[in-house]
């Protein structure tokens, strides 16, 4: 059986950088290390870090209660208030926000200071979007789908600046922007979708189109993995969404000639390798 693994499968630059920053702190013998939220959407990596003493702060309240230690901000980034809180409490800060997300923070801060209404195309409850909202001078509007784009109502001629969650699907973004663009606003669209996501989505779609079965590896709560799954499923009915090899063992792969593998941005390399070996019958 032929097994083709997407070149773009797995950790993107921002996630790799964030995970390395946490391990750096551990390797430097730092005590009391906390990440503000799980460093990535991957249970294996998070529990490995936990076994090395890295604790996850699950909420703002937990951060408020912290008296000492180092707080690592993950690649998704956070709003301005969290930085202020860490500083006021005298905690040490390690900022692992992906530089591409920091760029969005700068854009929305500047544009909202200049009087633009910020529209974020994305999922309102996603931590990255929460963080972006936290850099806008006035409350941002989040648009996740067609219905919300159509329902958007602002005074005619309003100055608006549209940005996107980095992991949003490019075609959906384009469609939503088209709807908003017809409303007669003074619109400034800044495509802030990360190219890592676009490339991974494109390659996954092309690969799914030419294989008989497709395996998508990633955490259940990882939005970029969910999107990869949607794209692959549309091109290949035999698409399987798994978190680890155990899940794949539950499905019985149909007898096929060619299997494609891709993985979300938070999927560590060793998991991809394990799945490759299993499919090739090398385990």
The CA-based angle 98-104-105, given to 5 degrees, is: 90
Q: Nearest distance from residue 100's CB to ligand F3S, in Å?
A: 4
Q: Specify the residue, 117 or 205, whose C-beta has the smaller distance to ligand F3S.
A: 205
Instruction: Give yes or no for residue 75 binding ligand F3S (CB under 6 A).
Output: yes
Place of tokens 């032929």: 2
- CA pair distance 247, 251, nearest whole angstrom: 7
Instruction: Give yes or no for residue 217 binding ligand F3S (CB under 6 A).
Output: no
Instruction: Give yes or no for residue 100 binding ligand F3S (CB under 6 A).
Output: yes
How is residue 116 annotated by DSSP?
A: P
Number of residues that bind ligand F3S (CB under 6 A): 14
Instruction: Give yes or no for residue 15 binding ligand F3S (CB under 6 A).
Output: yes
Q: Specify the residue, 105 or 111, whose C-beta has the smaller distance to ligand F3S.
A: 105
Binding-site member from 45, 49, 86, 98 for ligand F3S (CB under 6 A): 98
Q: Specify the residue, 17 or 89, whose C-beta has the smaller distance to ligand F3S.
A: 17
Q: Long-range contacts made by residues 100-106, C-beta under 8 angstroms, separation at least 24?
A: 100/14, 100/166, 100/192, 100/194, 101/14, 101/75, 101/76, 101/77, 101/128, 101/131, 101/132, 101/166, 102/77, 103/192, 104/132, 104/135, 104/163, 104/166, 104/192, 105/77, 105/131, 105/132, 105/135, 106/135
| 54-62, 148-156, 193-201, 211-219 -> range binding ligand F3S (CB under 6 A) | 193-201
Instruction: Give yes or no for residue 13 binding ligand F3S (CB under 6 A).
Output: yes
Binding-site member from 119, 177, 265, 279 for ligand F3S (CB under 6 A): 265
| 44-52, 178-186, 194-202, 213-221 -> range binding ligand F3S (CB under 6 A) | 194-202
Instruction: Give yes or no for residue 196 binding ligand F3S (CB under 6 A).
Output: yes
| 93-101, 111-119, 208-216, 248-256 -> range binding ligand F3S (CB under 6 A) | 93-101
How many residues does the structure list for the chain? 283
Q: Which residues are catalytic?
A: 128
- Dihedral sign, Cα of residue 24, residue 47, residue 247, residue 234: negative
Q: Nearest distance from residue 125's CB to ligand F3S, in Å?
A: 18
What residues contact residue 162 under an 8 Å CB cut-off, 6+ apart? 119, 120, 121, 177, 180, 187, 188, 189, 190
Q: Are 113 and 161 in contact (CB under 8 A)?
A: no
Binding-site member from 14, 38, 260, 264 for ligand F3S (CB under 6 A): 14
User: Where do contacts with ligand F3S occur on this chain (CB under 6 A)?
Assistant: 12-15, 75, 98, 100-101, 166-167, 194, 196-197, 265
């Amino acid at each position: 059986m032929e097994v083709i693994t997407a070149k773009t499968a797995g950790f993107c630059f921002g996630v790799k950088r964030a995970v390395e920053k946490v391990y750096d702190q551990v390797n430097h013998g730092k005590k009391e290390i906390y990440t503000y939220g799980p460093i990535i959407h991957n249970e294996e990596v998070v529990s490995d870090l936990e076994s090395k003493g890295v604790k996850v702060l699950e909420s703002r309240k937990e951060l408020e209660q912290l008296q000492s230690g180092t707080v690592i901000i993950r690649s998704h980034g956070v709003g301005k208030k969290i930085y202020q809180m860490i500083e006021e409490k005298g905690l040490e800060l390690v900022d692992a926000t992906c530089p591409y997300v920091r760029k969005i923070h700068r854009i929305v801060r500047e544009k909202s200071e200049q009087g633009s209404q910020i529209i974020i195309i994305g999922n309102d409850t996603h931590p990255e979007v929460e963080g972006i909202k936290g850099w806008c001078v006035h409350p941002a509007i989040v648009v996740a789908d067609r219905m919300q784009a159509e329902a958007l109502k602002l005074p005619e001629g309003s100055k608006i600046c549209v940005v996107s969650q980095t992991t949003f699907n490019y075609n959906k973004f384009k469609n939503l922007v088209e709807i908003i663009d017809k409303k007669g606003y003074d619109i400034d669209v800044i495509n802030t979708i990360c190219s890592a996501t676009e490339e991974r989505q494109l390659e996954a779609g092309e690969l799914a189109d030419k294989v008989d079965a497709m395996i998508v590896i990633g955490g259940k709560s990882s939005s970029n993995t969910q999107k990869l799954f949607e794209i692959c499923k549309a091109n290949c009915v035999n698409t399987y969404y798994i978190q680890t090899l155990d899940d794949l063992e539950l499905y019985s792969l149909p007898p096929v000639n060619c299997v494609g593998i891709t993985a979300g941005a938070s999927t560590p390399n060793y998991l991809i390798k394990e799945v490759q070996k299993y499919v090739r019958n090398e385990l």
